[in-house]
Amino acid sequence: AVDIFHEAIKNEEYSCFLSENRTLPMMYMDDAIKATISIMEAPIASIKIRNSYNLSSLSFSPKQIESEIKKHIKSFKVIYSPDERDKLAEGWPQSIHDNHSRKDWGWEPNFNLTQMVNDIILNLSKRYKKEKV
């Protein structure tokens, strides 16, 4: 999922090995860090499950992320060439159930797809501008 942003900024084109509507669960790193800190800071009495909690943030398809990137880079183009990795991803869950995390210790992600794309594009664009100097 990260490579699409680098290619969008550098080349305005991305070759995608997934089919355009293959929806997969994802999480922005900022939300993963937030979840880690949140569970460590949660009152011990609120931690009801002792082996693990599921976390969910957002699920999206390559077509959805392409549409969001095009809001920033109008000429961006994705070439869909599904391969064996698309077949593998077909068996993955489209979303993850995290009701216990939300109920027990108040997990709530900060980023939706639009916010994530905005943040990544902003930060990668700055990074690539520095590299050109």
Q: How far apart are CA 74 and CA 72, in angstroms?
A: 6
**pLDDT tens-digit series, residues 97-109:** 999 999 999 999 9
**Per-residue model confidence (pLDDT) at position 1:** 79
**Per-residue model confidence (pLDDT) at position 133:** 47
pTM of the model: 0.88
**Per-residue model confidence (pLDDT) at position 129:** 84
Mean pLDDT (the chain) is 94
φ and ψ of 36, to 5 deg: -60, -45
